[in-house]
Amino acid sequence: MKEQVISFELNREKVEICADPALSLLRLLRSRFNLIGTKEGCGRGDCGVCTVLLDGRAVNSCLIPAGKVEGRKVLTIEGLTREGLKKGAKVHPVQQAFIDKGAIQCGFCTPGMIMSAYALLRDKPFPSPEEVREAISGNLCRCSGYKQIEEAILEAAKAITEQEGKW
């Protein structure tokens, strides 16, 4: 496959890489940028474990051809953690809420789940439980039964608004 130069913003830093544009964004992130927090599950848009933010919106990185991110902004779970570190916390408040509420069991769905949750809270700082359920409807979890995840996201919303201005 012919490679081409792809320039985009990755976790708030400008990057440029020579890559096959038909590679999925997921593969690009994992194999070329070593950002392995984003997981591969079904590889066909059904499970949501590969969720990242593209221009602020949750997308399945397994379905996005690398060429498509030219000139756009990509945020992964590593970028979110870094935002937490910058503010003097260990992790981002959404991640902290998942830890506090026991919303993690095997952990494989967690990065995708957190990115979907973060995308929701960016748009709707005060989501209803119904809106939380809709926001994570594209993320499958086979361990937890979703209840703790929903609680964690509502908790994260509270934490973020209480520390208003900080995040």
Which residues in this chain contact other proteins in the complex, by CB under 8 A? 1-2, 4, 20-22, 24, 43-46, 48, 51, 54, 57-60, 62-68, 70-71, 116, 119, 134-135, 137-140
Q: How far is the CB of 160 from other proteins (least distance, A)?
A: 20
Beta carbons of 138 and 116 less than 8 angstroms apart: yes
Question: Residue 74: in which H helix or E strand, if any?
Answer: strand 73-75
Identity of the residue numbered 104:
I
Retrieve residue 59's tokens.
């997308």
Q: How far is the CB of 41 from other proteins (least distance, A)?
A: 12
Question: Which has the closest alpha carbon to 113: 62, 63, 38, 44?
Answer: 38
Q: How far is the CB of 36 from other proteins (least distance, A)?
A: 20
Task: Walk across the sheet containing 57-60 and list its strands.
Answer: 13-19, 4-10, 73-75, 51-54, 57-60
Identity of the residue numbered 76:
T
CA distance 70 to 141: 31
SS3 assignment, position 6: strand
Q: Which is nearer to other proteins, 20 or 100 (CB)?
A: 20
Q: Which is nearer to other proteins, 3 or 99 (CB)?
A: 3
Q: Which is nearer to other proteins, 35 or 115 (CB)?
A: 115
Retrieve residue 161's tokens.
């608004």
Q: How far is the CB of 162 from other proteins (least distance, A)?
A: 26
Q: Which is nearer to other proteins, 43 or 84 (CB)?
A: 43
Q: Which is nearer to other proteins, 57 or 166 (CB)?
A: 57
Q: How far is the CB of 136 from other proteins (least distance, A)?
A: 8
